[in-house]
Amino acid sequence: MNVDSIQNGIVIDHISAGNSMKLYELLDLDRLDCCVALIKNVTSRKMGKKDIIKIDADIHVNLDAIGYVDPEATVNVIKDGQLVEKKVIGTPQTLTNVLKCKNPRCITSCEQELDHIFRLSDSSAKIYRCIYCETKAK
Summarize as ranges the residues that interact with other proteins (CB under 8 A): 103, 105-111, 113-114, 121-122, 130-136
CB-CB contact of 89 with 73 (8 Å):
yes
The distance of closest approach from Cβ of residue 107 to other proteins in the complex, given in angstroms and rounded to an integer, is 4
Other beta carbons less than 10 A from residue 75's beta carbon: 19
The distance of closest approach from Cβ of residue 131 to other proteins in the complex, given in angstroms and rounded to an integer, is 7
Closest to other proteins by CB, 81 or 104? 104
- Write b or e for each residue in 11-24: b if 16 or more Cβ atoms lie within 10 A of its Cβ, otherwise e: bbbbbbeebbebbb
The distance of closest approach from Cβ of residue 120 to other proteins in the complex, given in angstroms and rounded to an integer, is 13
Closest to other proteins by CB, 22 or 136? 136
| End-to-end CA separation in angstroms for the chain | 35
Closest to other proteins by CB, 87 or 136? 136
